[in-house]
Structure 1
Amino acid sequence: MTVTVEGPHQPSAPVQAAYSYCEAVTGQQARNFAYGIRLLPAEKRQAMSALYAFSRRVDDIGDGTLAPGEKKERLEATRDLLDRIRSGKIDEDDTDPVAVALADSARRFPIPLDGLDELIDGVLMDVHGAVYETWDDLKVYCRCVAGAIGRLSLGVFGTQPGAHGADRAPEYADTLGLALQLTNILRDVREDAENGRTYLPADDLAKFGCGDGFAGPLPEGSDFAGLVHFEVRRARALFAEGYRLLPMLDRRSGACVAAMAGIYRRLLDRIERDPEAVLRGRVSLPGHEKAYVAVRGLSGLDTRHIARRDVRRRPR
């Protein structure tokens, strides 16, 4: 997937205002994502902000306080809006800045907008209260809410002309999305439990004696640290596979991906060192450390080092 953009993009004033709105949403709400996309040239950064703002809207519906029936209606209305974007029915005079920005981005880049349908499907799984018995079950959800975002982002990044194995780039982008989502799930186990959600597979919970979730005290004799270390190894295997995408990208796109993934890898490191920390609250990185990861990504240090580091053995 090679993208050629002829000359710098000069959006009209209404389109530029729409992008500015999306960039403001991204800067305010995307704690990790925003650090990565700062490394992109303006037209790609704007497109990624439009994707984020639309995705944020979908997530906010799923995480909001509406009744399930109302959430479904709102999500289907958002899907209808996506259909209008896909069919070219949104122009710069539309009153929805997210739709205007995403429609312009889709004209500029070969973004596979069907990935946003998958995101909506994944959020509907949350609304329906889906339970995941096995890792294969959870992968379906992760591919919808995160793998699809990886493939959408690849539509903006493109691959370098002549990149070896570029036909597998969407697969690697999808896998990297799974790695990020599994890290999110580990980070948020307590918060999700308080909202009535358990994402880790039921058979993994049973294997380590952790009952049916984390809303209350863990059962006596449970091996929560063992569960976390098992899932960390799974996430590292996904990162190692997904990082095969990096050599296929241009320098700044590769730096963006390396920065975003690098932040999550460091989160994974912290979780591995102190598994019980996720039961006390959200594990996060300070801003200066995120900035350091971004600089390493732009310098190419993480891009060269990453693939050699992660996986010692895959979970059995």
Structure 2
Amino acid sequence: MTLTASYEFCRRLNARHGRSYYLATLLLPAWKRPHVHALYGFARYADEIVDSFTMTGDRARALEDLTVRVSGALAGGAPADAAGDPVIPAFTQTVRSFGIDHGDVTAFLRSMRADLTVTRYSTYDDLLEYMEGSAAVIGTMMLPVLEPLPGLAGKAREPARQLGLAFQLTNFLRDVAEDLERGRVYLPMEDLDKFGVGPADLGGAAPTPALRELLAFETRRAREHYARAEEGIDMLTPSSRPCLRAAVALYGGILDRIEAARYDVLGGRAAVPKRRRAAIFVRHLLAASAADRAERRVTVEVP
């Protein structure tokens, strides 16, 4: 597998499994997209290992093997086996090119390991600790590719974390029933107790009034994360802003759909309609094209 093929594999993973986010990435300058796809592709690849095997031992061994290969590749070891590691060449190239913190990679893999054994979270702080690795570090790994403005990289890190948390919590709300089928409950148990919701209620045919109240509460919490992330968009180079604004509109649109369905996340997966996704893309396309052209403009002075 060539490096080009690895980047293409990651792109296809993004296009297949992250349709809303993939649509937003099309608003980025062409040179940034492969790197965003590489980061998404690695995260999705690890997530598929955690979710796709039937025996915990097999999943644990496969994830540990991936961890060892990634660690070796990032340390400058021998190239990963092409057949077994279609995402690692692109991922490691992107990590090296942008100086992405290896600690973020370690934190992500630690949260993936938690999914093999942890099925409940007592408090929101406990869930945040898990989401630090599963979501917040995805935001901070993406940050160098999206290019903070000079002097703002440090300040932009917290909004990037918050956006990762917002996206992850949105996914948890959308996938309540699907996660329960895997034996997991990501909504904090203290919140279930507060609203009088039992884990079995998350797999019912329709939401109970108590469950609707719980989901409304968690939706407000997700919107708070989006609000904290908002200021970070203008800290990025202009060519990255339309992508982030579109991604926020698309993922925030999932919350809109959940609310419009009166928090019935059990009867079907909440999704932004294709026409709405297209309208969001078109709305930001002009700004993306203009910013890209401006950044390509170079003045050459000949003495």
Q: Aligned pair 1:71/2:35, yes or no?
A: no
Aligned partners of 1:244 and 1:194: how far apart in 2? 37
Match of residue 232 from structure 2? 245
Work out the CA distance in 1 between the residues paired with 2:194 and 2:89.
48
1:294 corresponds to: 281
The offset of 1:64, in angstroms, is 1.1
- Secondary structure of 1:128's counterpart equals coil
Question: How many Å separate the matches in 1 of 2:259 and 2:184?
Answer: 22
Matched, 1:116 2:73: no
Residue from 186, 191, 203 that aligns with 2:173: 186
Change beyond 3 A, Cα 1:20–1:278 = same
> Judging changes above 3 Å, is the alpha-carbon distance between structure 1 residues 93 and 63 closer, same or farther for their aligned structure 2 residues?
closer
User: For residues 64 and 14 of structure 1, do their structure 2 counterparts lie closer, same or farther at Cα, with a shift above 3 Å needed?
Assistant: closer
Residue 27 of structure 1: aligned partner: 15
Q: Which residue of 2 aligns with 1:85?
A: 73
Native 8 Å contact 1:210 1:222 kept in 2: no
2:111 counterpart letter in structure 1 = G
Partner-residue secondary structure (3-state), 2:87: helix
CA contact under 8 A between 1:205 and 1:213: conserved in structure 2? no
The structural deviation recorded for 1:294 is 2.6
- Alignment map for 1:260-275 (pairs within 5 Å): 260-275=247-262
1:102 aligns with 2:91: yes
The residue identity in structure 1 corresponding to 2:72 is R
Number of the residue aligned with 2:39: 51
Report the residue type matching 1:192 in the other structure: D
Give yes or no for the alignment of 1:60 onto 2:13. Answer: no
Q: How does 1:182-261 map to 2 (within 5 A)?
A: 182-217=169-204, 222-261=209-248
What TM-score, normalized to structure 2? 0.86
Q: Between 110-119 and 262-271, report the one with greater CA deviation.
A: 110-119
| The one of 123, 126, 134 aligned to 1:137 | 126
Aligned length: 287
Query: Greater CA deviation, 97-106 or 263-272?
Result: 97-106
| SS of aligned partner of 1:39 | coil
- 1:110–1:156 Cα contact (<8 Å) kept: no
Gapped regions of structure 2 (runs ≥ 5): 289-303
Q: Which amino acid aligns with 2:31?
A: E
**1:296–1:70 CA distance, 2 compared to 1 (3 A):** same
Task: Tell me: CA distance 1:199–1:69, structure 2 relative to 1, closer, same or farther (3 Å).
Answer: same
Conservation of the 8 A alpha-carbon contact between 1:176 and 1:239: yes
| Residue identity matched to 1:42 | A
1:28-69 deviation line (CA, Å, top 9, x unaligned): 222222111111122210111111111111000111133112
Structure 1 unaligned regions, length at least 5: 1-12, 302-316
User: How far apart are 1:250 and its partner, in Å?
Assistant: 1.3
Instruction: Give the AA of the match of 1:234.
Output: R
1:112–1:155 CA contact under 8 A, matched in 2: no
Tell me: CA distance 1:218–1:88, structure 2 relative to 1, closer, same or farther (3 Å).
same
| Partner residue in 1 for 2:298 | none
Structure 2 SS opposite 1:197: coil
Distance in 1 (alpha carbons) for counterparts of 2:256 and 2:207 = 26
Q: TM-score if structure 1 supplies the norm length?
A: 0.83
Change (3 A) 1:122 1:69: same
- Distance (whole Å) between structure 2 residues aligned to residue 100 and residue 220 of structure 1: 44
| Letter in structure 2 aligned against 1:55 | A
Using a 3 Å threshold, how does the CA distance of structure 1 residues 36 and 220 change in structure 2: closer, same or farther? closer
Give the alignment of 1:136-175 within 5 angstroms: 136-163=125-152, 166-175=153-162
Query: C-alpha separation between the residues in 2 aligned to 1:221 and 1:15?
Result: 50
